[in-house]
Structure 1
Amino acid sequence: MMNADKFAAGVIRLRWLILISTVVIVALIASGATSIGFSSNYRVFFSHDNEQLVAFETIQNTYSKSDNILMVIEPDDGNVFSKETLTAVKDLTEQSWQVPYSTRIDSITNYQHTEAEADDLLVNDLVEFPDEADLDKVIHVALNEPLLLRRLVSPEGHVTAVNITVQLPQVSESETPEVVAYTRNMAKAFEAKYPDLQVYMTGSVMLGNAFSEAAQKDMTNLMPIMMLVIIVTLYLLLRSFTATLATVFVILFSVITAVGLFGWLGWTLTGPTTSAPTIITTMAVADCVHILVSFLFNLRNGMPKAAAMQESVRINLSPVFITSVTTVLGFMTMNFSEVPPFRDLGNTVAMGVVAAFFLSIFFLPALMMVLPISAKKQARNKSQAMQNLATFVIGHRKGVLLGTGLLAVALFAAIPLNQINDEFIGYFKKSVEFRKDTDFVGDNL
């Protein structure tokens, strides 16, 4: 207890040194964030020594490395075998050769159809000249050729596809976004040229890019919303603008520290790791609230500012430390995962939680001591409400224990209802363009 008192007194006494040192250290660490890249390669979900990945790459190294984009075309009239649609498919097939890193284009128009003529075997595009094509022959071949049916044309003949095989050099993380951006622009121009046709895009390249886009969109949209909710909630609960502002600083510095260290370690952002700031924010808020609630309570009960903060740090140092240590240990166990991004997530959150702990016991008290704060006495109804809750729990402890125990058993019994379902497509909401296009392709092709 005496050590905690001395520690709290030291933090208050050296507040300016702590504030300046914290800002300098966080700024230096933050510079590491400039080197962070975002990976849209689905291979990042497997360790380098993963047996399945090693076997897959062995096959690719032996033969060829390839990914694909599947562009599915749906005509408004529901017939892909009209001369107009075949002309459009042939046009898209030829344009697709301009897609960066494309190595092969497959469609019903350029399918190499072999037929005998006397003693000769003739190999030609199935649809070489759409205006002169024998539609009955095209339909017969397309709907009876296993390499085309349900791959590049539906059994009903209402949708068809152009498959673009790409071979990414895997030198830069910008390769996948480059391919996707070019293909989207090409599809947009195609739909403008042929307004009676709709294009849906899926494939391994689109999948990898969808993970990247979804994660970046979540970071851009959800973090500001979450911060706004936290700020409003903190202000309503603490009734102190200064305390709310100080908490926001701790949150930002905790996240910046974790992200900066992430960059200095040379790690690459993936879908799972983008959720780290959200988790770190939660822990930082919890640490701050522990200290601030006690501080404001002491202040509003007439204690001097320095004494109120010293007492708050003294009584909360041990609980905040224990909470932080157990949280760090919990997230560090994610290093046993076979999925590298989950290991990165656990380590990043652990670094952020450690940063939040030190910021909450050093930076937060120091900042609160230099910021102005009013100490209006609170009405007793709030304290009385908590007192009534405590009295109820203590007075009905057996009933509360029995009730929570039964609830826990009921929830435990529902565990077998959980299902393991690791379908990548299901990671995305049905409103996401990639999910909608992929579902359409799965239902129609």
Structure 2
Amino acid sequence: MNIQKINNWFEKRADGIIKNRWLIIVTSIVLVGIAFMGLPKVEMESSWDGYFLEGDPMLVKTDEFKEIFGNDEFVAILTECDNTFSKESLELIRELSNELMDSLAYAEKITSLTDIEFMTGTEYGMQIEQIVPDVIPSDPALLDSIRQKVYSKPNIARKLVSKDGRLSWILLKLRTFPKDSVWKQTSNIGPDMLTGQQTEHIISKEKYSAISPRATGMPYLSTKKQHFFAKEMGRVMGLAILLAIVVLAFATKSIRGVLFPLLTSIAAVVMLYGLTGHIGYKIDSSMTSIPVILAFAIAIAYNIHLFSYFKKQFTFHGKRKVAVKEAVTELGWPILFSALTTMSALLTFLVIPMKPLRFVGIGTASCVLFTLLMVLFLVPALLSFGKDKEPHPVIRQKGGCCSTAK
């Protein structure tokens, strides 16, 4: 490999960048602007179904199960209090059960202590009654009889209430969720997310605090997961920007040296997520921060190399455009080679048959590509603006850096 020929090629590209710098800047702004308009269209995927590719054996078996038994989704509420079999606790459990059944859009069947039927034999045949009557008694003896009935049925005692009577389950079976093409016609919130949000709203009410309800089930967990990572995304972005500013300020000691890397990294992130929004690609919420972190790391590394070399050359001879040309000529190939090897390594994630990990591969490799284009085209174009200055006498006296551009 002839490095000199490669450097000569980058030198010609540097001439073109300086000559067409306004075109490069305007084009970059337009592309980032178009990508920015796609950000509101970004769809987050939180359900476990989104982990698998179409035709995966796990999804095939799940679909077969749903065809036979209906929806496999459920919501479960765990209540906790000193005594589940007190009048107040039973009333709250019944009220919570009824509200879940009435308020959740896809509720189909509720199972709780207050909805269980109890069958006993009598001299006239069989008698079926609810373990907890419609009017819950306050008499301790009657409440104790309810407790005895519950624990006399092992299938109830083992599944719905703990041995010490402090914990109790409320189980809610859900109707089959409609397909995406159906619910998207009337809403922008998926059935699973809607169910999770409704559950969270209900159990968070102050009136149920005495039984400390806590929810589980994939719809609820998916909602909590998405909310958590949405909040963490902002924190990660803020921390990444703060650390980037500190590192860049220390390394470059220049306002441009701080602003340009931040600009390129933010632009790369916007272009990635804007593009996914435009094409309708669903992103797992737990993976959204990975490309962001990598974009900042790559942008800082590439920009520090380019800016440091530019600054040395500019300090040596004071000619801004010449210094830009020298920086691109000398560092274009090392930066390009580094980006290509990094992208190749990241794209190996595509071998893994799981959507979130494939997004990590595609997303991070795309961020590296967008950052590379910004560093090799936009940053030199921006650096070329400004006045020349007198060479630094001390550095020039010591020999400074050797000029490579003609």
Choose from 117, 132, 136 the match for 2:144: 136
- Quote the offset at 1:357 in angstroms: 0.8
* Kept in 2: contact 1:300–1:378 (CA 8 A): no
1:282 lines up with 2:297 in the alignment: yes
Aligned to 1:94: 98
Assess, with a 3 A threshold, how the Cα gap between structure 1 residues 150 and 375 changes in structure 2: closer, same or farther. Answer: farther
Assess, with a 3 A threshold, how the Cα gap between structure 1 residues 174 and 376 changes in structure 2: closer, same or farther. Answer: farther
Aligned to 1:169: 178
Aligned to 1:405: none
Alignment deviations for residues 61-83 of structure 1 (CA, whole Å, 9 cap, x no partner): 211103222222112xx211112
- Quote the offset at 1:194 in angstroms: 5.1
Assess, with a 3 A threshold, how the Cα gap between structure 1 residues 34 and 185 changes in structure 2: closer, same or farther. Answer: closer
Superposition map of 1:49-128 within 5 A: 49-75=55-81, 78-98=82-102, 99-128=104-133
* Kept in 1: contact 2:195–2:220 (CA 8 A): no
* Kept in 2: contact 1:242–1:373 (CA 8 A): no
Q: For the residues of structure 1 that align with 2:296 and 2:208, how far apart are their CA atoms? A: 49
- Quote the offset at 1:126 in angstroms: 1.4
- Quote the offset at 1:260 in angstroms: 1.9
Q: For the residues of structure 1 that align with 2:46 and 2:87, how far apart are their CA atoms? A: 38
Which residue identity is paired with 1:116?
G
Alignment deviations for residues 88-138 of structure 1 (CA, whole Å, 9 cap, x no partner): 211212122122211111111111222222242222221123217833332
Aligned to 1:362: 377
Which residue identity is paired with 1:20?
V
Which residue identity is paired with 2:10?
A
Q: For the residues of structure 2 that align with 1:43 and 1:293, how far apart are their CA atoms? A: 47
* Kept in 2: contact 1:72–1:201 (CA 8 A): yes
Q: For the residues of structure 2 that align with 1:285 and 1:378, how far apart are their CA atoms? A: 30
Which residue identity is paired with 1:90?
R
1:347 lines up with 2:362 in the alignment: yes
* Kept in 1: contact 2:197–2:223 (CA 8 A): no
Aligned to 1:148: 156
1:258 lines up with 2:272 in the alignment: yes
Aligned to 1:436: none
Aligned to 1:238: 252
Aligned to 2:282: 268
Alignment deviations for residues 139-174 of structure 1 (CA, whole Å, 9 cap, x no partner): 233234343334321111111121222233353443
Superposition map of 1:275-424 within 5 A: 275=289, 276-370=291-385
Assess, with a 3 A threshold, how the Cα gap between structure 1 residues 373 and 208 changes in structure 2: closer, same or farther. Answer: farther
TM-score, normalization: structure 1?
Answer: 0.79
Q: For the residues of structure 1 that align with 2:389 and 2:157, how far apart are their CA atoms? A: 75
Secondary structure in structure 1 of the residue aligned to 2:119: strand
Q: For the residues of structure 2 that align with 1:197 and 1:30, how far apart are their CA atoms? A: 46
Which residue identity is paired with 1:249?
L
* Kept in 2: contact 1:296–1:375 (CA 8 A): no
Unpaired runs of 5+ residues, structure 2, are 1-6, 184-188, 399-406
- Once superposed, what is the RMSD of the aligned Cα atoms? 2.5
More displaced 10-residue stretch of structure 1: 355-364 or 78-87 = 78-87
Choose from 24, 28, 35 the match for 1:18: 24
Alignment deviations for residues 173-226 of structure 1 (CA, whole Å, 9 cap, x no partner): 43233223322232233xx33553322222222221122112211112221221
Q: For the residues of structure 1 that align with 2:392 and 2:243, how far apart are their CA atoms? A: 26
Q: For the residues of structure 2 that align with 1:55 and 1:18, how far apart are their CA atoms? A: 52
Alignment deviations for residues 247-285 of structure 1 (CA, whole Å, 9 cap, x no partner): 111112111111122223320121243022222222222
Aligned to 1:228: 242
Choose from 172, 192, 201 the match for 1:185: 201
Assess, with a 3 A threshold, how the Cα gap between structure 1 residues 66 and 241 changes in structure 2: closer, same or farther. Answer: same
Which residue identity is paired with 2:292?
P
Q: For the residues of structure 1 that align with 2:227 and 2:342, how far apart are their CA atoms? A: 30
Q: For the residues of structure 2 that align with 1:178 and 1:100, how far apart are their CA atoms? A: 8
Aligned to 1:39: 45
- Quote the offset at 1:374 in angstroms: 8.2
More displaced 10-residue stretch of structure 1: 351-360 or 259-268 = 259-268
Q: For the residues of structure 1 that align with 2:22 and 2:296, how far apart are their CA atoms? A: 25
Secondary structure in structure 1 of the residue aligned to 2:166: coil
Q: For the residues of structure 1 that align with 2:303 and 2:131, how far apart are their CA atoms? A: 70
Assess, with a 3 A threshold, how the Cα gap between structure 1 residues 94 and 374 changes in structure 2: closer, same or farther. Answer: farther
TM-score, normalization: structure 2?
Answer: 0.86
Unpaired runs of 5+ residues, structure 1, are 384-445
Alignment deviations for residues 18-58 of structure 1 (CA, whole Å, 9 cap, x no partner): 11122122222333333221222221012222212211221
Aligned to 2:213: 199
Aligned to 2:403: none
Assess, with a 3 A threshold, how the Cα gap between structure 1 residues 188 and 212 changes in structure 2: closer, same or farther. Answer: closer
- Quote the offset at 1:323 in angstroms: 1.0
Among all aligned residue pairs of Structure 1 and Structure 2, give the percentage whose two residues are the same amino acid.
21
Which residue identity is paired with 1:169?
P
Secondary structure in structure 2 of the residue aligned to 1:80: coil
- Quote the offset at 1:371 in angstroms: 5.2
- Quote the offset at 1:324 in angstroms: 0.8
Q: For the residues of structure 1 that align with 2:128 and 2:394, how far apart are their CA atoms? A: 90
Q: For the residues of structure 1 that align with 2:386 and 2:378, how far apart are their CA atoms? A: 12
- Quote the offset at 1:356 in angstroms: 0.9
